[in-house]
Structure 1
């Protein structure tokens, strides 16, 4: 293999993905508040990337590690390249926000105001608001270099005040956290039909004398630190997993500052003081010409009264496979059910657990919780089932990044309700999405299983595209029980009948399927691989795909985010194409299809083709045998691959090209097509016809 062109750097590939999301904010076909939403999404994505990926690279460099990644880059080289692209992303984010979106929104009555732009009435309102709501809550702390300093919280917005000293003393500094719970956007009195607001930091700066009476404040500017969140639990040293994870959360609060965002008006003197205080390098200090923490603007995109600036919502459709008047288990007994969310409603999955909780014939319920919503109906149903005397097991993954705190709270609440709570396999994250309900029926005990590609989260099920598969297939039910036995105890599920599980058999199965297509191509047989996933990183699988391409296998990949494979390289990957879809919903489903001599093998999975998923997590690969379900999955794949509106094509050099319909070519926007199909199926029984959607409909990315 030609090592010099084998792989694209993982981190740079992720940044390219975030740029594709950012370009949705530039698309003039999207309503203004939707464009602001994409700005907020990219800011949120960047926060997590810096905390985890950049934090990890900085830690490696600090420890003197120079090992090159599969693309041939050392940690230092990666950090240098990342920094350059992050600077570019900031420029594009803030230029577009400040020069395009903010003025355009102001013209529509959605107006961010500076203090000097306020009317006398608004100034009076703000003065009262600051005195009543802010002055009693916000508290500054004096800070000095070399002295004990207050805890400056990760990602929290702060004010730095520089105060003139007396003739003998130097200038003094104070830091004031603005708090996570304090309202960032202060709505001002304004005419009907308008929304005028001032940012919290602008209000505080205009009234800074409320906190420093009798002092001369020389400057007052906002800043925001980012701390390293790439802190792993040392399970061998922790007394128990719950206590160990709580210690990790505490450690993150005071970890190294790896990024410092400051507003453009801060003086060099103030910036230098902060860098020294937080021990953050100049290269990773970003002076931003606009409001810090753009992700906060997500809250404002749902404001009422500006519907013309938002997308017309797509409501998840009731599936034509589900009869709302019949019991869910009765329907699964008749046929396997496959749903594609959010085009089809997540409600049947909620029903699956809720009906089980109240069904006298149900003996037990077992479910994996990786991430869930703040008021989860699934968790409430588990609690109710335990109170009804059923044997309920919940596997809560405490190591789900940034959901650790909420999962700890869920664990304690469920245990108090009588639920058996387990925390997965030592050293591995349990990322599988499975729920099994055991029911006593006339014919005996029957296992009903839900397998999915997404979490049991009713909120994100309206925003992410995911597959749900419900079946009472005996082999898949047996395997679901074996899976839970393996993660809750010490048994090794070596004899799974139909499932493939990482880190034991999943990688081996995917490798075998790729190799089988390669052998068919070598024997001049038709050979195809079609796959949809979030990320493709694993070097071994990439090499297998390159070998398959060289043998003549036609490989079509739909990879939403990171892709380290280089398609279309002469002599290496001419038969591989890679596309990425960025649209209203976040593409999250994993579907894998192998031609297999015409008898296609189709799988859904919780796992991407990443080393961490294949070797360091507990994941599932689920074969789909139902002819109707296989047909639906293949249809979904074909629709996504045909997209020429919301898709991007990956080029051999690692860059992406936006796809557009060619002259005379039919316009295909896959998410729109899939939602339209769901609407048609829903309305068919009602005698209505749905031919088209309002352009650029949708609710969330």
Structure 2
């Protein structure tokens, strides 16, 4: 196979004499940066969740899509509370005098986060009560109030309760001194019962000393568990009536306590600290150690209590004391205590007109279903933009490799996978056929640890060589190397990506895949992989940069090159798309570049601790955030380099954890057609004026509107381009005569 042409490197220009304007820029760059230049990371994340919540409030969206965004904001807050608030609570105890880059102490951050968190929750449930629930009812999807249900619904509810629920659930008597360990994020009922007849008399006497006292009552808990579905259909005179499990149990609560007087029955949910990491220096067995982490996370310290807003002060105080919570941790909920059940409603059949139109992914026009993937990649690099272009092509490449007799080895990093992963199945099949298969399975992928442990064991049984990541680092790179024997010798086919090898999330997340057999990238990928699996210092690589060794330095060098070019030639440009911008060293480099006159455009989906548009600091920096039907997840970078653009993709965001504590890759896209395609994708995002939010210097966001311009929705534009290219390719194939050969 002939060597592929590499993009030529631009010859450096001779430095010109500095003009007064350039001298002023140099002087500005050297000035000290102000202390107030960073925004708080936690508040920036909450601002992102507010942008997601704005989708739930968007009246132009179908009602089930609005419900879905409510569910997303709920699950987002769950993770934020578990990880970020959990981490802040640890910081409060261990380092109360340490300030974050924004100058805030842990106590100050907790106060600010609590205020903003409660504000978001209040808005969530107002949208649910005033907008989403009524419109769902108008669409025929109604949450039935059992006290007002029709006779058929009452019959269905009682039948369901006695047949499926009552035999499963069990109450547990509790006290503040003997309170059980409750599972995080599980829904419970707290039941308050009158202790005895004397207590009832005292409570009814009406004098000042007869006020309700905790000692007059007993408490019991009923866990809803996970064996029963939370959303229960109720047949009746409504198109699609349903009730929630906790509402059904509350309606029949007396059945659990015959002969007792139930005063109160309150749903609640506890969130526990998930910011628990494995002490690898103390774990002799990584697999066993991770299982211990999972167990510890289930019963770690509580960080949040959500409970029905109509709960009495007595019940709230009982739960608060038993769980040792602060007032910041209490969240009264005027509605269902967990809105993630709306995911179930979104998936109900028969309501397609209340959901977004389906955008089925299309294959890349260059991929011929009748040609092997190896032949397609050998003809030139392929760039896939997901989910518009199908991730099936990546899966197909690995599946073809698993049965191809000329494939000798497959090497792959797995960070997150799907429940029934075809990629894992292909790796197992390849190993069973005698191929040399190595998989780096990251056991420390937060909230996917259990699944990854299961996959690791299964692959080992199939004969796959499984490496459990790297000591003290998370392996987050997305790379697959396929080593194939061909007439001209050994050829390495590679997939580099910005997203996980998960065909389910690949249909929901916006990501990028690069398929290539470039010789230089092949050598670099092998060097990288061997360093990871061999626990050795990686040798210098020609084009790839890897964290935690060279990626940070490469990013800073690329920014600095634009800074110097702008100082010398009066021009420089950086365009980047990423999920988070938190790293202070990178932010300071961007500030210096802005002071030098570099035009910087950043598309940051979530956390951004940089202040754009500040006079004398970041006047040339623009930050936007896209929130739409697909989760923006791709990391794409373009550095102008005086007109000889360097385009790269990466698994890493610009965060300390990615640059210093994870194994990541930064991959140059050298093929001219692929790099131009990526530049076009970047430009489309900055053209968006319907689902784009512009960041202001104080960290707040303002949604862009079309005004007098035509509305542009980036995700729709990208999908329509893919569909058009696919139609043209299909039309061309139909117009081409293809003779049958022997064996066809």
Contact kept in structure 2, 1:361 and 1:441, CA below 8 Å: yes
Q: Show the 5 A alignment for 1:388-467.
A: 388-467=433-512
> Tell me, what secondary structure is at the counterpart of 2:466?
strand
> Tell me, what secondary structure is at the counterpart of 2:423?
helix
Write the distance in 1 (CA, Å) between the matches of 2:323 and 2:345: 31
1:184 equivalent among 214, 221, 230:
230
2:9 is matched with: none
> Tell me, what secondary structure is at the counterpart of 1:613?
helix
Q: Show the 5 A alignment for 1:605-644.
A: 605-644=650-689
1:58 is matched with: 89
Q: Show the 5 A alignment for 1:130-169.
A: 130-147=161-178, 149-166=179-196, 167=198
Mapped pair 1:240 → 2:271: no
CA drift of 1:306 comes to 1.1
2:111 equivalent among 61, 69, 80:
80
Q: Show the 5 A alignment for 1:529-540.
A: 529-540=574-585
Mapped pair 1:27 → 2:58: yes
Write the distance in 2 (CA, Å) between the matches of 1:103 and 1:352: 47
Write the distance in 2 (CA, Å) between the matches of 1:609 and 1:64: 25
Write the distance in 2 (CA, Å) between the matches of 1:143 and 1:97: 33
1:675 is matched with: 719
Mapped pair 1:313 → 2:358: yes
Write the distance in 1 (CA, Å) between the matches of 2:379 and 2:412: 23
Contact kept in structure 2, 1:67 and 1:75, CA below 8 Å: yes
C-alpha spacing 1:572/1:31, structure 2 compared with 1 (3 Å): same
2:14 is matched with: none
CA drift of 1:241 comes to 1.1
> Tell me, what secondary structure is at the counterpart of 1:249?
helix
2:73 is matched with: 42
For residues 454-480 of structure 1, what are the alpha-carbon distances to aligned partners after superposition, in whole Å with 9 as ceiling and x for unaligned? 000000000000000011111111111
CA drift of 1:606 comes to 0.2
Mapped pair 1:469 → 2:500: no
> Tell me, what secondary structure is at the counterpart of 2:663?
strand
Write the distance in 2 (CA, Å) between the matches of 1:333 and 1:198: 56
Contact kept in structure 2, 1:453 and 1:606, CA below 8 Å: yes
Q: Show the 5 A alignment for 1:133-532.
A: 133-147=164-178, 149-166=179-196, 167=198, 170-191=216-237, 194-532=239-577
CA drift of 1:181 comes to 2.9
Contact kept in structure 2, 1:538 and 1:611, CA below 8 Å: yes
CA drift of 1:296 comes to 1.9
Write the distance in 2 (CA, Å) between the matches of 1:190 and 1:676: 42
CA drift of 1:278 comes to 1.2
CA drift of 1:668 comes to 1.1
C-alpha spacing 1:581/1:333, structure 2 compared with 1 (3 Å): same
For residues 377-415 of structure 1, what are the alpha-carbon distances to aligned partners after superposition, in whole Å with 9 as ceiling and x for unaligned? 000101111111111111110110100011001111111
Mapped pair 1:128 → 2:159: yes
Write the distance in 2 (CA, Å) between the matches of 1:398 and 1:100: 42
CA drift of 1:662 comes to 2.5
> Tell me, what secondary structure is at the counterpart of 1:231?
coil
Mapped pair 1:97 → 2:154: no
CA drift of 1:65 comes to 2.8
Write the distance in 2 (CA, Å) between the matches of 1:64 and 1:382: 45
For residues 473-522 of structure 1, what are the alpha-carbon distances to aligned partners after superposition, in whole Å with 9 as ceiling and x for unaligned? 11111111111111111321132121000010001011111111101111
Write the distance in 2 (CA, Å) between the matches of 1:133 and 1:653: 53
> Tell me, what secondary structure is at the counterpart of 2:510?
strand
> Tell me, what secondary structure is at the counterpart of 2:716?
helix
Contact kept in structure 1, 2:307 and 2:337, CA below 8 Å: yes
2:15 is matched with: none
Write the distance in 1 (CA, Å) between the matches of 2:467 and 2:41: 33
Contact kept in structure 2, 1:365 and 1:390, CA below 8 Å: yes
Write the distance in 1 (CA, Å) between the matches of 2:265 and 2:376: 64
Contact kept in structure 2, 1:5 and 1:566, CA below 8 Å: no
Write the distance in 1 (CA, Å) between the matches of 2:326 and 2:535: 47
For residues 35-77 of structure 1, what are the alpha-carbon distances to aligned partners after superposition, in whole Å with 9 as ceiling and x for unaligned? 0000000000000000000000001112243210110011111
Aligned CA-pair RMSD? 1.1
Write the distance in 1 (CA, Å) between the matches of 2:277 and 2:229: 32
Contact kept in structure 1, 2:70 and 2:124, CA below 8 Å: yes
> Tell me, what secondary structure is at the counterpart of 2:320?
helix
Write the distance in 1 (CA, Å) between the matches of 2:313 and 2:87: 29
Contact kept in structure 2, 1:537 and 1:564, CA below 8 Å: yes
2:619 equivalent among 574, 580, 592:
574
> Tell me, what secondary structure is at the counterpart of 2:480?
strand
Q: Which sections of structure 1, spanning at least 5 residues, go unmatched?
A: 689-701
Q: Number of paired residues?
A: 685
> Tell me, what secondary structure is at the counterpart of 2:216?
coil
Write the distance in 1 (CA, Å) between the matches of 2:312 and 2:94: 33
For residues 105-159 of structure 1, what are the alpha-carbon distances to aligned partners after superposition, in whole Å with 9 as ceiling and x for unaligned? 1112111111112111211111111111011111111111112x32211000000
Contact kept in structure 2, 1:525 and 1:597, CA below 8 Å: no
2:596 is matched with: 551
> Tell me, what secondary structure is at the counterpart of 1:523?
helix
Write the distance in 1 (CA, Å) between the matches of 2:59 and 2:447: 33
2:138 is matched with: 107
Write the distance in 1 (CA, Å) between the matches of 2:264 and 2:330: 19
Q: Show the 5 A alignment for 1:6-17.
A: 6-17=37-48
> Tell me, what secondary structure is at the counterpart of 2:569?
coil
Contact kept in structure 2, 1:163 and 1:171, CA below 8 Å: yes
> Tell me, what secondary structure is at the counterpart of 1:685?
helix
CA drift of 1:198 comes to 1.1
CA drift of 1:190 comes to 2.6
For residues 550-577 of structure 1, what are the alpha-carbon distances to aligned partners after superposition, in whole Å with 9 as ceiling and x for unaligned? 0010001111110000000000000000
Q: Which sections of structure 2, spanning at least 5 residues, go unmatched?
A: 1-31, 200-214, 733-744
Write the distance in 2 (CA, Å) between the matches of 1:66 and 1:425: 32
